[in-house]
Structure 1
């Protein structure tokens, strides 16, 4: 019997966790949603019957999901939010009204599922869910148990065959499409787009950040036309007019967003965010929420939208920690997102030396992902991530040394690596930048606690 949170985590550890084994995950064609539909049906289909906002995209989907959840809550709706991966605790993945599920409730959800899972292991082992599928089902049960008004769901990987794609969404969002997880999703933008637009459902609007010159646009447009989905795209439903970059009173990154979203206008709304692409995410979130709120019969209020966006904090994403030295923690792990994090870091550093702490998974090319930072940092310290997918600290350092004459320090232990980079920053009056993975962001934030 599952009595405690630790009991629950031990039980969940017995399930296949493809997030940890992504380097060995089978092709997406070997997955299907049949077993999940059967499990949910046996539980009374807890994933159906509530307004739902479903989000996919190569980057920005966690931030957009959090923004949308905050906007809905600001309008008086009770919400369930599903995010992945987590930064500090697995409980972040399942949130009610913006707060992670409690340890006791988490354990209760696992215990609720345990008898059904044990029967499956005996009678139909092929139907035993993965770790991510278990988390997804637990989330739906939690939403039902709390009687929430709306669901905001982030896709785990891809979309078409993702466990979250069992819902009947009120509105879908496809933030953007870039080359990532190519071994599983495909090696072209068109193939990846095919997986992402798999979340579209008949007659349901889709909000997107894709423009008509993007290779994925024809794929999205064709699928939307096939299903009769209204497409709400940049310049045709939402539009960014300006994104002013500024600093908070304690020196952290801030943007002020102006633009239109559906029938609303945002005028210099402040957000605790770094990269300008978060302004586009905010406008897409507002647009999607307007669709959901109107479908739910809730009046949309511009003040509620502004308050929600201004008050939102996203751990591990342009996460600013003032002090001596100040630290900017970002889970950026693609070439584009790391380059953006570097720009934000240079802005907040304001001429002070930057000291880099980084870690990557093995599927990343270190020089490609981190190359944009090599000319702008004073020191580099590498470390190992807490996942079997991690590239070793020494291997990462070796890959970077050729492009960084001052030399690279490798420390496999995250706490030791953090100590090195903090000392470097203190000695030079500099700023620490942490990038490469949400695994690293979480480890650093835990250590600093």
Structure 2
């Protein structure tokens, strides 16, 4: 097979199986060995966590770039285009390089298939192989790698990182890495490596010991949020980071974003790279993370956030309700979710005063009306046309109101693209 355009590469990737029957790393390791183990040619940072891992990766990647490091970034999901998943110095991978990498991988896979005709990678494994190959060929100084799901059995867990990061542990993907919080903590602690430091974010007390025991077994030094470093957040004031050696100030954001920033800063400081306190503050304040607490407008306040599990939704709603108390307006929520998520639990988080609309997008896993629990359908209106519904909700919002778009990065991405087109039309 020889790819000639990006769409063919992406269509092919999504035609591959999602998972293997075995949850081991044998397929990805075999493929990377055939590619001369590109993952070992670059210094890496490995990031897992139920929430906050994407934000932490973006903040850390920006800090490394500002310190003059050629920095790779592998994150998911994408908001605008597939190429976002693999970045170099803040730029998405080009279509040409994507095609070239896929062809290089196809070449080694066809060799493997000469002796093992049924050998095939799952979608995410293929993406991981492309990312590591790209970062090695571009001679990155560092690559920041976000796991797909979990940790120990995740297909990115083929590296010995300079630093491991676990942002949070909560319930998500229970059917794959659960079912309990303890199971999820054990799985995520699998990215901790021998003699390599680990930075821990806001880990629930009941599972902290599991992670600390793993760090102890691996002789991995631990930096723990609220013990070795912390972020003090006061409403509408700057956030203050402290770690014993320095005090830094960042523009006000939701508390959870503050924790992600503090984790990224603490991990960055382990590298002893030359960046002044002022440069660190500037790098963080300049970082834009697509689809995460992204503010589109302030009158009304329009917030896009791809929160798609209990913990993320709880954090987002806490922030929105805090804002509501200050603005004395109405909260409107446009939500679309995947049908394999904890739909009942998520909808239990809304207040009776929140005006919620259900919608969907054209995507196989997207929940349609019948996929929502009966009590949710009985409570909230469902409109299949997300574009029309968003436009109506935006028009109905007064200057002091809040409009949230949430539940999935796919919906957030669609809204961002729609807003961008509207902006272009205004300018021409």
Q: TM-score w.r.t. structure 1 length?
A: 0.86
**Cα offset, 1:210, TM superposition:** 4.6
1:199 counterpart = 2:183: no
Aligned to 1:438: 409
Aligned to 1:258: 240
Aligned to 2:14: 13
1:225 counterpart = 2:225: no
Q: Secondary structure at the match of 1:315?
A: coil
| The one of 224, 228, 235 aligned to 1:245 | 235
For 2:145 and 2:329, the matched residues in 1 are separated by 39
Aligned runs of 1:326-345 on 2, under 5 Å? 326-345=301-320
Aligned to 1:252: none
Aligned to 2:44: 52
Deviations 1:207-260 (A, max 9, x none): 10255x6222121121111111111112432122x21333xxxxxxxx732122
Deviations 1:365-407 (A, max 9, x none): 3342133323232x322112443322213543843254x4xxx
| The one of 348, 359, 362 aligned to 2:336 | 359
**Cα offset, 1:137, TM superposition:** 0.9
For 2:134 and 2:161, the matched residues in 1 are separated by 18
Aligned to 1:251: none
Q: Secondary structure at the match of 2:238?
A: strand
C-alpha change, 1:210 and 1:425, in structure 2 (3 Å) is: closer
Aligned runs of 1:8-407 on 2, under 5 Å? 8-18=9-19, 30-121=22-113, 123-210=115-202, 214-240=205-231, 242-246=232-236, 256-261=238-243, 263-266=245-248, 268-270=249-251, 273=253, 275-291=254-270, 293-294=271-272, 298-322=273-297, 326-348=301-323, 350-377=327-354, 379-396=355-372, 398-402=374-378, 404=379
8 Å Cα contact 1:197/1:220 also seen in 2: yes
1:409 counterpart = 2:381: yes
**Cα offset, 1:93, TM superposition:** 0.7
Aligned residues: 417
**Cα offset, 1:313, TM superposition:** 0.9
**Cα offset, 1:39, TM superposition:** 0.9
1:419 counterpart = 2:391: yes
C-alpha change, 1:11 and 1:199, in structure 2 (3 Å) is: same
8 Å Cα contact 2:83/2:95 also seen in 1: yes
8 Å Cα contact 2:57/2:264 also seen in 1: yes
Q: TM-score w.r.t. structure 2 length?
A: 0.90
Regions of 4+ moved over 4 Å: 323-326
For 1:314 and 1:245, the matched residues in 2 are separated by 21
For 2:153 and 2:222, the matched residues in 1 are separated by 22
C-alpha change, 1:169 and 1:397, in structure 2 (3 Å) is: same
Unaligned 5+ segments in structure 2 are 421-428
Deviations 1:19-63 (A, max 9, x none): xxxxxx86xxx2111221111111111111322111111110001
Q: Secondary structure at the match of 2:303?
A: strand
8 Å Cα contact 1:175/1:210 also seen in 2: yes
C-alpha change, 1:226 and 1:429, in structure 2 (3 Å) is: closer
Q: Secondary structure at the match of 1:47?
A: helix
Unaligned 5+ segments in structure 1 are 19-24, 247-254
**Cα offset, 1:323, TM superposition:** 7.0
8 Å Cα contact 2:165/2:198 also seen in 1: yes
For 1:387 and 1:261, the matched residues in 2 are separated by 44
Deviations 1:146-180 (A, max 9, x none): 11110111111000011110011001011111121
More deviation in 392-401 or 39-48? 392-401
8 Å Cα contact 1:74/1:307 also seen in 2: no
For 2:115 and 2:416, the matched residues in 1 are separated by 43
